[in-house]
């Protein structure tokens, strides 16, 4: 059987404790199953930079034909990605970037665009362009990641133009985690009598904030916006009326592997592949769930 395998492809995942990454792994493993010529080796960084660095070093030692990596953070993974590049292994960076552009390809969503869409919608929810009024709680993802910065910057391109919008927090990071966002929101609720909108850099954090507001009996006064739109999570929470909206951040699992195989087969690949997004509100959430069999 092993002789049939033409390509050994390593995939270094940052963590699997977050639902979006569990889905990401499912997507890449399902795609690999469609390619009998590919042996896919998946590692789990367990949400620790040191562990993920060791994983990549291991894959380099195994002389994989291509390396796919979704880094936990940019700075800490740049060195080892460079090592792979120096070892002439084609590198495909997925979802979060590193601080070099010498990789073969980047595949992921456009976080600036998603942030802008979220900001534009927040302005609409708070009364519309030029008239928006409200106190906003923003809960950041991991500070060392580009998606968090892009999601922040895009959002503020819209909300910062509104004199009636006030930002209640300054760079508070929930590190993408629901429980950390719950705690940030619980404190914000204690410190602020009026909160109108929460922007979580992902759905688990928007939902954690929702749960904190619910426990304080204030969830009805607040709009919650998240990002990811996993059918069983964000989309379901929107459909339940818990979140007001979420924006699709598709996992690059299937596309990333397809691109790597294309490259290994000698075809040209683009430097960047950008995955589509969409806004999910009560209007389309139910339909999306139906399409996914939920
Ligand atoms: C999962 C996650 C997603 C988020 C992405 C950003 O680890 O936090 O929820 O959209 O990473 O890189």
pLDDT tens for 136-184 read: 999 999 999 999 999 999 999 999 999 999 999 999 999 999 999 999 9
95 lines ligand 1 (CB under 6 A): yes
State the pTM of this model. 0.97
Radius of gyration, alpha carbons of the chain: 20
Mutate to test the pocket of ligand 1, among 14, 15, 147, 227 (most ligand atoms within 8 A of CB): 147
What the block records as the tokens of 286 is: 């139910």
125 CA → ligand 1 middle, Å: 25
Kindly give the number of the ligand 1 atom that is closest to the alpha carbon of 14: 7
* Ranges of H-type helices in the chain: 19-33, 49-61, 74-86, 111-125, 146-159, 178-191, 203-215, 236-239, 253-264, 282-291
Which of the 8 DSSP states describes residue 3? Answer: G
Mutate to test the pocket of ligand 1, among 95, 149, 177 (most ligand atoms within 8 A of CB): 95
Taking each helix axis from N to C end, the angle separating 146-159 and 111-125, rounded to the nearest 10 degrees, works out to 40
151 lines ligand 1 (CB under 6 A): no
228 lines ligand 1 (CB under 6 A): yes
Q: Which residue has its alpha carbon closest to ligand 1 atom 6? A: 147
| Residue where the block lists tokens 């979060």 | 96
pLDDT band for position 2 (50/70/90)? low
pLDDT at 41 over 90: yes
Please tell me the distance from the alpha carbon of residue 121 to that of residue 247, in angstroms, as a whole number: 11
pLDDT tens for 237-254 read: 999 999 999 999 999 999
Q: Which of 121, 185, 117 has its CA nearest to residue 154?
A: 117
pLDDT at 180: 98
134 CA → ligand 1 middle, Å: 27
Other C-beta atoms closer than 10 Å to the C-beta of 174 total 26
28 CA → ligand 1 middle, Å: 16
pLDDT at 4: 73
Query: ipTM value of the model?
Result: 0.96
Please tell me the distance from the alpha carbon of residue 123 to that of residue 179, in angstroms, as a whole number: 27
2 CA → ligand 1 middle, Å: 34
249 lines ligand 1 (CB under 6 A): yes
How many Cα atoms occupy the beta-carbon half-sphere of 10 within 13 Å?
Answer: 24
Contact 229, 237 (CB under 8 A): no
Please tell me the distance from the alpha carbon of residue 58 to that of residue 83, in angstroms, as a whole number: 12
227 lines ligand 1 (CB under 6 A): yes
pLDDT tens for 84-111 read: 999 999 999 999 999 999 999 999 999 9
19 CA → ligand 1 middle, Å: 9
């Amino acid at each position: 059987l092993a002789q049939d395998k033409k390509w050994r492809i390593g995939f270094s995942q940052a963590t699997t404790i977050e639902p979006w990454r569990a889905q990401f792994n499912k997507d890449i493993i399902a795609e690999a199953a469609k390619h009998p010529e590919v042996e896919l080796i998946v590692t789990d960084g367990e949400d620790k930079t040191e562990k993920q660095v060791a994983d990549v070093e291991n894959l380099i030692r195994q002389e994989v034909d291509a390396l796919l990596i979704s880094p936990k953070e940019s700075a800490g993974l740049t060195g080892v990605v460079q090592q792979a590049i120096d070892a002439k292994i084609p590198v495909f960076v997925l979802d979060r970037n590193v601080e070099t552009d010498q990789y073969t390809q980047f595949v992921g969503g456009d976080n600036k665009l998603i942030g802008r869409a979220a900001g534009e919608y927040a302005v609409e929810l708070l009364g519309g362009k030029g008239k928006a009024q409200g106190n906003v709680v923003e809960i950041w993802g991991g500070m060392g990641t580009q998606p968090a910065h892009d999601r922040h910057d895009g959002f503020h391109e819209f909300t910062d133009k509104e004199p009636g919008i006030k930002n209640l927090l300054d760079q508070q990071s929930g590190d993408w985690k629901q429980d950390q966002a719950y705690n940030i929101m619980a404190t914000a609720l204690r410190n602020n009598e009026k909160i109108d909108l929460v922007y979580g850099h992902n759905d688990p954090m928007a939902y954690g904030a929702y749960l904190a507001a619910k426990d304080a009996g204030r969830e009805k006064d607040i709009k919650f916006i998240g990002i990811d739109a996993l059918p069983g999570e964000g989309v379901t929470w929107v459909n339940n009326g818990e979140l007001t909206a979420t924006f699709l951040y598709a996992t690059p699992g299937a596309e990333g592997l397809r691109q790597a195989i294309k490259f290994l087969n000698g075809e040209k690949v683009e430097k960047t592949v950008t995955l589509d997004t969409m806004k999910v509100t009560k209007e389309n959430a139910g339909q999306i769930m139906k399409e996914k069999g939920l």
